[in-house]
Each structure stands twice: as C-alpha cells, then as structure tokens.
Amino acid sequence: MKNSSKYLFKSERLGFRNWNSSDIEKLHELNSDKEVMEFFPSIPSKSQTSEFVVRMIKQFEAKGFCYFAVDELVENKFIGFIGLSEQTYEAEFTPCIDIGWRIKKEFWNKGYATEGAKKCIEYAFNQLKLEKLCSIAPIINQKSIAIMTKIGMKMQLEFEHPLLKNDSRLKSCVVYSIENDTLTT
Ligand SMILES: CC(C)(COP(=O)(O)OP(=O)(O)OC[C@H]1O[C@@H](n2cnc3c(N)ncnc32)[C@H](O)[C@@H]1OP(=O)(O)O)[C@@H](O)C(=O)NCCC(=O)NCCS
C-alpha cells in the first residue's frame, strides 16, 4: 500500500491511521515504559494492550474516530497514539469525546503531541463535525496539561476521577475543553 493512501489524514510530520494487529507489539513496547506510564495506575499487560487495539479498531469502525495510531512520516516509524475516544464513566462532564496522547520517549519534546493534537481537533471539528472535545489528566501530569493549553483548550473543572478513587497520587484530575465554533447554530 502506498503511503499516500495509508493515512486517514496527515499533519506536517505525522500520519494518522487505524490500528492493525502488527501494532500490538509496538504499543506493548510503549506501554511497558515506566516513565511513559508514570501518570497511570498500572502498566498494561500484553493482553490488555491487545484488547485496547481491538477496542480502538471497533470504535473507529462505529464512530469514525479512535486514539489513532501515529507514524512519523519521514522515517515511517510508529511513535504512539494521538486521537479521540468516547468517555462514559460517571462524571459531571460525561459522556464526552476526549482527545488524548501517548508517545514513545525517544520522540518526546519535538512538538509531535502538540502538532498531532491540533490536527486531530481540526479533523474532529471540520470532518466529523463534533461539537466539543475534552481532555483529562491528573493534576500532577503538568506536561500533558501544557499540551492542552498549547492547543487552545480551556480549563473546565477539577474533579475526583471515579476510576482512580483509590489512587491518592492520581485521583485529583482536571478537564480541559474546546468547542467547535465553526458549527452554525
Ligand atoms: C505528554 C506527551 C504526549 C507530550 O508529548 P511531546 O510530543 O513530547 O509533546 P510536545 O513536544 O508537543 O510538547 C512538550 C511540551 O511539554 C513541555 N514540558 C516538558 N516537561 C514538562 C513538565 N514537566 N511540565 C510542564 N511542561 C513540560 C515541553 O517544554 C514542551 O513545551 P514547549 O514545546 O512549549 O516547550 C508525552 O510526554 C507522553 O507521551 N507522556 C506520557 C503519556 C501521558 O502522560 N499521556 C497523557 C495522559 S493524561
């Protein structure tokens, strides 16, 4: 398959695509890095990673979006995921579609998360016509919150994450959001 047809959309340096079974091993490697997973309650097992990939493929088929698999275009290397996913846990702001990211350490601090997230917002608002996106992070994940600010999201509220209630380090979270002002009301 030619690179031009492999991607759903591209940013300047990145290609965004649905997942395939050959990504499971690459995502497992990313998920096994303790520093990458510093702000998550646990390191996913290989089977949890595999289930995640299946869930993303199904969500993409049903809704037209998921946390997209992302490749760096020049070297054609998988760098991680950036994309959109439904959040349905019980909270004041749910259900919502969130924008999220997880990138291999060797690719950090090159502006990829910022570039990719901006492109995903464009895709969500212009192609998918979504009304609003949110983004959620534990307050201690300041690096992730910095991305939210850089891509134009605004702080909406602080909350205790219902799935992290027993984790005193991670349970205090923030929601940032951005609305689609190109939609006519
Ligand atoms: C968060 C993450 C996606 C950022 O990816 P990235 O491609 O390195 O991000 P960018 O290069 O676009 O931007 C990084 C920014 O964070 C800043 N930064 C780095 N460490 C920081 C810190 N401890 N606190 C605040 N900002 C920080 C950098 O200076 C840079 O900002 P700048 O470009 O304005 O100088 C990446 O670190 C990652 O995958 N982390 C682990 C997974 C994760 O935590 N996901 C979010 C879960 S809520």
Angle 182-65-124 from CA coordinates, rounded to 5°: 10
For ligand 1, atom 43, the nearest C-alpha belongs to: 102
Residue 99's identity, in one-letter code, is I
Q: Whose CA is nearest to atom 35 of ligand 1?
A: 109
Q: What is the pLDDT of residues 109-149, one digit of tens each?
A: 999 999 999 999 999 999 999 999 999 999 999 999 999 99
For ligand 1, say whether the CB of 39 is within 6 Å of any of its atoms: yes
Nearest CA to ligand 1 atom 42: 102
- 7 C-beta closer than 6 A to ligand 1: no
Torsion of CA 101, 102, 106, 110, to 10 degrees: 10
Which helix (H) or strand (E) segment holds residue 27: the answer is: helix 23-31
Residue 132: what are its φ and ψ, rounded to 5°?
Answer: -155, 145
3.50.50.60, 3.40.190.10, 3.40.630.30, 3.30.70.920: CATH of 3-179:
3.40.630.30
Residue range 150-173, pLDDT digits in tens: 999 999 999 999 999 999 999 999
Which residues have a Cβ under 8 Å from the Cβ of 158 and sit 6 or more positions away?
139, 172, 173, 174, 175
What values do phi and psi take at 68, rounded to 5?
Answer: -70, 145
Nearest-atom index, ligand 1, CA of 138: 48
Q: Name the residue among 116, 17, 112, 115 with its Cα closest to residue 66.
A: 17
Token output for 100: 């999220």
Query: Measured between alpha carbons, how far apart are the two ends of the chain, in Å?
Result: 41
Bridge partners of 136? 175
- Its pTM stands at 0.94
Tell me: the pLDDT tens digits for 72-96? 999 999 999 999 999 999 999 999 9
